[in-house]
């Protein structure tokens, strides 16, 4: 076999862990798609140009809330070069990512709910023609009262933004109680009540969303799109276009950044699909940056109230969390987000009794959804800042306090989440040591400070978006006589390295190089379903599926080689593109010969693997959000310098330790940590999705304050501090080669660590994100005036919370069901689709 290594890095170096020697796993490697990326050859959706391709532009509502009285597109249609105008009546079927919130239409039929909601589409020969023709569509609107924030939503039941939900403009109410939290407070030595506000922000992927659709020569539909979830888009297209899914092919092109922002099925994808079918020619759309801000699905703004009881030693006796969540104009993942806002508080520290109440309202703003950390960074910020306050009151070091209450491996939480390996204590000890915490905390000169915070995150959502009992990930492997192995999998490359994970695992098992592996991923026709690149699920789930498929192929090859070499199968080793007797390595065949032997013996060699997460013990209604095969843990120390004259915050250095289980490709794992730290720092200091009202003499509409990259501040290369990253590698048996997630968890501790560091530096609490110089100046002024040295929310509006579902925690004999709800243990699977988050 020719040594076609091209420019791939040699894998001469080995990694060792647990006595096993790996040739691929754990060895720093050039990722399989790196060459395409550095040569500009990666084909993103907007890089697709097809013959006869038409271009699509969307006409978007200038009003935040209005009825559509009339649409007249005749002038646009008469425009030379315009092929087609679509309006809501062409695509009336509602869709949405969650089965319980099918509340979107590709083009609004009679009701627009935020500035930017699309009402018509023009498809023309040229992009500019389509753009110019938008002005020729006459839309008559009847403007409705605008709901601009959750408090207004609570106070304004009419007009309703949607005709479904709890009541008025409340989309979702959640109330869960695990043990009697009042009893917990009665046992406490101290009770802490704190309010926090976490401003919304957006993903800002540098690639704008784009999609190209064609009617295939045989009449079927193919769409390429920058989507993180081709499988869910596939389902939405089938529903709205009323076509069998089998006649639709979705190809997720590599995403130029996703971060959760490309996880919903989008109106523009459905529109180009419809247009391609109508016109029988390729149709492309690429959103402008302004439109990307209107797609949004970003971080929900959340107002929070934490009440926490603690013993003198820091032990938590009970916690009560309330959240008020600004959902924006549509459901999106919002029901799941509402549960996520309360789900993971129990996974870091032992909380024996816990009550969560969450309320998501609709508002006339672009819809919020999942952004890196989905629903958990907001409460994590509150919880970790409150712990800092608790430590100070108890005169404890915040690191020591946390070390005393961290959860243990394999624990079951109060809300019935089964944890995997928990190395949070080690994470804390590492960052304390590396940062010189003990020499710095409360000891640095005025204006300089350090803060510490921790977090946990899912390694994949334990339940799918729609109810089914099938695997979450599937992999097919083809073993070719040439010696090559081809991986087919629905997993989607969004930059996180999912292709490299699959190739690395397969290459390790089979003893070949990742360069010997070909990948066909993110394609609903070519590969078995993978649910998508969200919830940090790909490494564990698609990885385990790949591992199973590779092991099955290896077994076939081993059987054939064992016979040929007359060596017991268990003595065979696969390494360096050979299969050999481990006791007499000269007795060997090449990997290619092994495939040929196996093919001669068994016929064509192809194997499959799949992964289904373990069943969750959280049986109560709502227990579908939060379970995961295992959780990652992070601890971070942030150092800040605060200028008391200007309020300016500089961050010279960050130390972070992440409990990853195993790093499959160390530079990529480190890159995920650093990228998370970066994004967390942006959220901590500057990123915010803000709105303003236009002047009365204009429309007085509620508009995005600055839908542009220039005004939406994000950290540049000049803002990025040094980051010391420590990967804690204790393999978790649930992950492939012990791997846990790394793409989201390390973002979570950054925001609270910055807030805690600011307090250490200048003695003011900023209980709100982002932490801007303006807020620091206001808090410093309060301090100077002898008032509470703090900036943050002071009240939580009244919400009519429902009676909570009461779930006795495991240590009170609970079985995972709510005592005041029907038992769900032996419940037969519902016939109709049902969202697990509801």
Partner 1 sequence: MATLSIESQKTSQIRFTLNGEEVDVSFAPYKTLLEVLREDLGHTGTKHGCELGECGACAVLLDGKAVLSCLVLALECDGRRVLTVEGLGEEGKLHPLQDAFADLGAAQCGYCTPAILVTAKALLDQNPHPNRDQIREALSGNLCRCTGYLQIFEAVEAAIVKIAGQNNSET
Which positions lie near partner 1, rule CB under 8 A? 7, 9, 28, 30-31, 33-44, 46-47, 49, 80-81, 124-129, 203-208, 254-259, 288-289, 494-497, 667-668, 670-671, 674-679, 708-710, 714, 716-718, 720, 722-723
In the complex, the smallest distance separating the C-beta of residue 498 from partner 1, rounded to whole angstroms, is 11
In the complex, the smallest distance separating the C-beta of residue 254 from partner 1, rounded to whole angstroms, is 7
The total number of residues written for the chain in this structure: 838
Kind of pairing, strands 354-361 and 448-458?
A: unpaired
Closest CB to partner 1 among 113 and 374?
A: 374
In the complex, the smallest distance separating the C-beta of residue 635 from partner 1, rounded to whole angstroms, is 18
> 751, exposed or middle or buried, with CB in 10 Å at 0-12, 13-18, 19+?
buried
Closest CB to partner 1 among 309 and 675?
A: 675
Distances (CA, A) of 300 to 332, 547, 608: 11, 36, 39
- Radius of gyration (C-alpha) of the chain in whole angstroms: 27
Closest CB to partner 1 among 100 and 660?
A: 660
Closest CB to partner 1 among 7 and 645?
A: 7
User: Torsion-angle region of residue 451: left (phi > 0), alpha (psi -120 to 50) or beta?
Assistant: beta
In the complex, the smallest distance separating the C-beta of residue 542 from partner 1, rounded to whole angstroms, is 18
> 19, exposed or middle or buried, with CB in 10 Å at 0-12, 13-18, 19+?
exposed
In whole angstroms, give the CA distance from residue 121 to residue 77. 11
In the complex, the smallest distance separating the C-beta of residue 99 from partner 1, rounded to whole angstroms, is 30
The dihedral over CA atoms of 698, 116, 363, 96, expressed in degrees to the nearest 10, equals: 160
| DSSP-assigned beta bridge partners for residue 316 | 310
Place of tokens 């304004």: 156
Q: Find the largest Cα–Cα distance for the chain.
A: 89
In the complex, the smallest distance separating the C-beta of residue 510 from partner 1, rounded to whole angstroms, is 23
Tokens of 798: 């009244």
Closest CB to partner 1 among 706 and 796?
A: 706
Tokens of 634: 């992070």
In the complex, the smallest distance separating the C-beta of residue 261 from partner 1, rounded to whole angstroms, is 10
How many Cβ atoms are within 10 Å of 328's Cβ, its own excluded? 29
In the complex, the smallest distance separating the C-beta of residue 107 from partner 1, rounded to whole angstroms, is 23
In whole angstroms, give the CA distance from residue 477 to residue 20. 25
Dihedrals phi, psi of 646, to nearest 5 degrees = -110, -15
Instruction: For 290-300, give one letter per residue: b (16+ CB within 10 A) or e.
Output: ebbbbbbbbbb
In the complex, the smallest distance separating the C-beta of residue 669 from partner 1, rounded to whole angstroms, is 9
Closest CB to partner 1 among 357 and 493?
A: 493
Select from 419, 427, 769, 819 the least CA-distant residue to 627.
Answer: 419
In whole angstroms, give the CA distance from residue 595 to residue 582. 19
In the complex, the smallest distance separating the C-beta of residue 58 from partner 1, rounded to whole angstroms, is 17
CA 524 to chain centre: 21
In the complex, the smallest distance separating the C-beta of residue 209 from partner 1, rounded to whole angstroms, is 12
Closest CB to partner 1 among 36 and 819?
A: 36
Closest CB to partner 1 among 81 and 773?
A: 81
In the complex, the smallest distance separating the C-beta of residue 654 from partner 1, rounded to whole angstroms, is 10
Coil, helix or strand at residue 581? strand
In the complex, the smallest distance separating the C-beta of residue 703 from partner 1, rounded to whole angstroms, is 18
Kind of pairing, strands 485-489 and 111-112?
A: unpaired
Closest CB to partner 1 among 53 and 444?
A: 53
Place of tokens 């097919």: 476
Q: Using the 8-state DSSP alphabet, how is residue 731 labeled?
A: -
Closest CB to partner 1 among 496 and 630?
A: 496
Closest CB to partner 1 among 208 and 539?
A: 208
In whole angstroms, give the CA distance from residue 605 to residue 621. 44
Closest CB to partner 1 among 37 and 692?
A: 37
In the complex, the smallest distance separating the C-beta of residue 638 from partner 1, rounded to whole angstroms, is 14
Which residues lie below 8 Å from residue 715, measured CB to CB, with a gap of 6+? 678, 681, 682, 685, 686
Select from 510, 520, 514, 530 the least CA-distant residue to 487.
Answer: 520
How many Cβ atoms are within 10 Å of 800's Cβ, its own excluded? 10
In the complex, the smallest distance separating the C-beta of residue 708 from partner 1, rounded to whole angstroms, is 6
Closest CB to partner 1 among 180 and 714?
A: 714
Instruction: For 576-601, give one letter per residue: b (16+ CB within 10 A) or e.
Output: bbbbbbeeeeebbbebbbbbbbbbee
Closest CB to partner 1 among 83 and 441?
A: 83
> 722, exposed or middle or buried, with CB in 10 Å at 0-12, 13-18, 19+?
exposed
In the complex, the smallest distance separating the C-beta of residue 729 from partner 1, rounded to whole angstroms, is 17
Closest CB to partner 1 among 37 and 784?
A: 37
In the complex, the smallest distance separating the C-beta of residue 651 from partner 1, rounded to whole angstroms, is 12
Closest CB to partner 1 among 264 and 500?
A: 500
Select from 387, 365, 262, 370 the least CA-distant residue to 319.
Answer: 387
Helix (H) or strand (E) holding 181: helix 181-187
Closest CB to partner 1 among 677 and 751?
A: 677
How many Cβ atoms are within 10 Å of 2's Cβ, its own excluded? 5
In the complex, the smallest distance separating the C-beta of residue 336 from partner 1, rounded to whole angstroms, is 23
Coil, helix or strand at residue 156? coil
CA 98 to chain centre: 15
Select from 417, 815, 464, 817 the least CA-distant residue to 628.
Answer: 417
Select from 503, 621, 103 the least CA-distant residue to 330.
Answer: 103
Tokens of 115: 């500035």
Rounded (10°) angle between helices 377-393 and 398-405: 110
Closest CB to partner 1 among 496 and 772?
A: 496
């Amino acid at each position: 076999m020719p040594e076609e290594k091209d420019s791939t890095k040699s894998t001469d170096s080995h990694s060792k862990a647990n006595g096993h020697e790996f040739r691929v796993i754990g060895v720093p490697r050039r990722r399989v798609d790196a060459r395409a990326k550095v040569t500009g050859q990666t084909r993103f959706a907007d890089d697709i140009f097809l013959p006869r391709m038409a271009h699509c532009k969307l006409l978007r509502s200038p009003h935040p809330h209005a009825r559509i009285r009339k649409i007249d597109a005749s002038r646009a249609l008469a425009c030379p070069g315009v092929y087609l105008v679509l309006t809501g009546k062409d695509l009336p079927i509602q869709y949405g990512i969650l089965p319980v919130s099918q509340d979107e239409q590709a083009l609004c039929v009679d009701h627009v709910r935020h500035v930017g909601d699309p009402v018509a589409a023009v498809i023309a020969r040229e992009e500019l023609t389509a753009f110019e023709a938008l002005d020729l569509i006459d839309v008559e609107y009847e403007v409705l009262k605008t709901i601009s924030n959750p408090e207004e939503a609570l106070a304004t039941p009419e007009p309703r933004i949607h005709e479904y939900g709890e009541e008025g403009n409340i989309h979702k109410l959640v109330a869960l109680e695990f043990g009697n939290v009042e009893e917990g407070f009665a046992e406490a030595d101290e009770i802490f009540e704190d309010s926090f506000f976490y401003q919304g922000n957006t993903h800002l992927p540098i690639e704008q969303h784009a999609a190209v659709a064609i009617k295939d020569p045989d009449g079927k539909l193919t769409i390429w799109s920058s989507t993180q979830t081709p499988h869910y888009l596939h389902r939405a297209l089938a529903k709205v276009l009323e076509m069998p899914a089998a006649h639709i092919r979705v190809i997720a092109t590599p995403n130029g950044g996703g971060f959760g922002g490309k996880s919903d099925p989008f109106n523009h994808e459905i529109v180009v699909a419809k247009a391609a079918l109508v016109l029988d020619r390729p149709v492309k759309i690429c959103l402008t940056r302004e439109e990307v801000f209107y797609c949004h699905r970003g971080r929900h703004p959340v107002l929070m109230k934490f009440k926490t009881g603690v013993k003198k030693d820091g032990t938590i006796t009970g916690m009560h969390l309330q959240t008020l969540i600004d959902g924006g104009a549509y459901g999106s993942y919002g029901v799941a987000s509402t549960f996520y806002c309360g789900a993971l508080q129990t996974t870091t520290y032992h909380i024996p009794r816990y009550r969560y109440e969450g309320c998501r309202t609709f508002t006339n703003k672009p819809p919020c959804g999942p952004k890196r950390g989905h629903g958990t960074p907001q409460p994590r910020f509150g919880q970790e800042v409150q712990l800092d306050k608790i430590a100070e009151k108890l005169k404890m070091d915040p690191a020591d306090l946390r070390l005393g209450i961290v959860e243990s491996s394999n624990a079951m939480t109060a809300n019935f989440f089964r944890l995997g390996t928990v190395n949070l204590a080690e994470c804390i000890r590492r960052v304390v040591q590396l940062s010189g915490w003990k020499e710095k905390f409360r000891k640095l000169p005025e204006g300089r400070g350090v803060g510490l915070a921790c977090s946990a995150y899912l390694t994949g959502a334990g339940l799918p978006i729609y109810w089914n009992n099938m695997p979450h990930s599937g992999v097919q492997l083809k073993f070719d006589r040439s010696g090559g192995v081809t991986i087919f999998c629905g997993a989607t490359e969004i930059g996180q390295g999912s292709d490299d994970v699959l190739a690395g695992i397969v290459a390790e098992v089979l003893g070949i190089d990742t360069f010997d592996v070909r990948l066909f991923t993110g394609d609903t026709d070519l590969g078995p379903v993978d649910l998508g690149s969200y919830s940090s699920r790909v490494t564990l789930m698609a990885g385990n599926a790949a591992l199973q498929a590779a092991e099955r192929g290896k077994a076939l090859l081993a059987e054939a080689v064992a016979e040929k070499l007359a060596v017991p199968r268990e003595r065979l080793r696969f390494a360096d593109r050979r299969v050999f007797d481990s006791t007499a390595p000269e007795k060997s065949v090449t990997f290619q010969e092994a495939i040929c032997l196996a093919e001669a013996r068994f016929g064509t060699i192809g194997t499959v693997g799949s992964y289904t997460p373990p069943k969750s013990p959280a049986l109560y209604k709502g227990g579908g959000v939060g379970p995961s095969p295992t959780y990652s843990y992070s601890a971070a120390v942030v150092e800040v310098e605060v200028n008391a004259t200007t309020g300016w915050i500089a961050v010279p250095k960050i130390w972070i330790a992440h409990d990853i289980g195993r790093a499959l490709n160390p530079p990529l794992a480190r890159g995920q940590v650093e990228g998370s730290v970066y994004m967390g720092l942006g959220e901590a200091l500057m990123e915010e999705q803000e709105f303003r009202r236009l002047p009365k003499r204009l429309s007085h509409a509620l508009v995005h304050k600055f839908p542009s990259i220039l005004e939406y501040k994000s950290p540049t290369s000049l803002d990025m501090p040094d980051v010391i990253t420590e990967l804690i590698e204790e393999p978790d048996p649930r992950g492939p080669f012990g791997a846990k997630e790394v793409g989201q968890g390390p973002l979570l501790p950054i925001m609270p660590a910055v807030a805690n560091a600011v307090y250490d530096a200048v003695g003011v609490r900023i209980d709100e994100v982002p932490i801007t110089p303006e807020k620091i100046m206001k808090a410093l002024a309060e301090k100077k005036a002898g008032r509470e040295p703090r900036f943050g929310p002071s009240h939580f509006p009244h919400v009519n919370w429902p009676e909570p579902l009461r779930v006795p925690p495991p240590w009170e004999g609970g079985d995972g069901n709510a005592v005041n709800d029907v038992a769900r243990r032996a419940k037969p699977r519902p016939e109709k689709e049902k969202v697990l988050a509801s």
